[in-house]
């Protein structure tokens, strides 16, 4: 049987798992803003962040949006980012993956949604 200390340590480690899976925003180049516009090829409306794959003019981008709760609070529901829609995403390119963009704002169906 686990001692109280062992059980406490196990609970602490289990609580840390979601936090360790989340990445920080320090790995994005905030010195210049990039705009990606194109058709949504794929969308994932899940935590920790909503993501869309966008067929841009120069390449295919993975665009990281806000968490689901923030998307809903801004009125950006799952149907907003359906496959086939055209999206404009303004944000910062990842320093680790040149095909990834962290969106500060998106424009879909003529409406602007702030991600922060």
pLDDT tens, 37-60? Answer: 999 999 999 999 999 999 999 999
On whether residue 13 sits in a domain, the answer given is no
Q: What is the pTM of this model?
A: 0.78
Give the separation between CA 86 and CA 37, rounded to whole angstroms: 7
Q: Residue 96: which domain range?
A: 25-114
Domain of residue 40, CATH code: 2.40.50.140
Whether 5 is covered by a domain: the verdict is: no
Q: Is residue 3 part of a domain?
A: no
Is residue 7 situated within a structural domain? no
What's the Cα-to-Cα distance from 42 to each of 29, 32, 46, 86, 95, rounded to whole Å? 24, 26, 13, 12, 23
**How many domains does the chain contain in total?**
1
pLDDT tens, residue by residue, 100-111: 999 999 999 999
């Amino acid at each position: 049987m686990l001692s109280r200390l062992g059980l406490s340590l196990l609970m602490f480690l289990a609580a840390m798992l979601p936090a360790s899976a989340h990445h920080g925003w320090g790995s994005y180049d905030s010195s210049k803003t990039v705009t990606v516009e194109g058709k949504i090829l794929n969308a994932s409306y899940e935590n920790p962040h909503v993501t869309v794959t966008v067929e841009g003019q120069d390449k295919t981008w993975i665009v990281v949006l806000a968490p689901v709760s923030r998307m809903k609070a801004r009125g950006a529901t799952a149907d907003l980012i359906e496959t086939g829609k055209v999206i404009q995403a303004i944000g910062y390119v990842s320093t680790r993956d040149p095909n990834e963009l962290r969106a500060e704002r998106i424009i879909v169906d003529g409406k602007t949604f702030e991600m922060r």
